[in-house]
Amino acid sequence: MGVTAVFILPLLLLGISGLLFIYQEVSRLWSKSAVQNKVVVLTDAISGLGKECARVFHTGGARLVLCGKNWERLQTLYDALISVADPRKTFTPKLVLLDLSDISCVPDVAKEILDCYGCVDILINNASMKVKGPAHKISLELDKKIMDANYFGPITLTKALLPDMISRRTGQIVLVNNIQGKLGIPFRSAYAASKHAALGFFDCLRAEVEEFDVVVSTVSPTFVRSYHIDPGQGNWEASIWKFFFRKLSYGVHPVDVAEEVMRTVRRKKQEVFMANPVPKAAVYVRTFFPEFFFAVVACGVKEKLSIPEEG
């Protein structure tokens, strides 16, 4: 019996490894076929996440329309994609200047986007602007700028491109949002407000366009961190709020988010929440035990304000 087990266990592990490899390969090929020849628009292709999404969708054979506020950085991304791609299996990306915080230019840019290929199959709203500070110290002008960039800009572009999707009865709109679309974090009032507003809009839109076979998806990571920066180590046992917020601030790597966006498009998932267990628990606590959540948040703010900051 013992000798049999010695032979069976390695064979079992080998079989499981083989099945996992086959699943990954099939999933990879399926992902590529899902976007092959599809017109995909990235609203911010020059951010860390935007570059990774561009790489993933370009490799998959999508017809990319890459948008961004800086033409030189768009050109750099274009050159990087072209240099490593197989021209027989990929399309040359189109470049479009777009600043979603300038609402007045969005309708004209939407027309330019449609002129690239005549239609849009997948719109990925990943552009975002951040601000940090106490609510009473953030000017109303900055509040409006954040709302333009994170809410009015994306919905203006979406409304401009949506009639084409409805008329063709096909299309997918992906909003890359944030955990702060579900709960507010201190000193992020303007940012959290814009993310709440965006999530509310696209949740409503999802139900409205379902009859036209247009899919609306939201992907919400805690936040997208830099390529080479890992969360620092610290004494998380000093207090409940430090443990809570240090864990809450753990971000997701741009590569992981880009791959999740691809899976969301392939599977036509409606909502994805990318976070470790602590942020997920925070959303649950905020929903079912709001008084406890508010107490933890308030405790954290008081402790932060009692510590003098350098500089």
d(CA 188, CA 206): 27
Q: Which amino acid is at 32?
A: K
Residues 86 and 121 sit within 8 Å (Cβ to Cβ): no
Query: 78, 191, 227, 284: which one is catalytic?
Result: 191
Active site residue 151: no
Measure the CA dihedral 76/82/83/84, to 10°.
Answer: 120
Maximum CA extent, the chain: 77
Report the alpha-carbon distance of residue 112 to residue 118 in Å, rounded.
Answer: 10
Nearest Cα to Cα of residue 190 among 135, 148, 149 = 135
Distance of CA 175 to the CA centre of its chain: 7
Alpha-carbon distance 18 to 146, whole Å?
49
β-partners of residue 122 are 40, 172
Residues with active-site annotation: 191
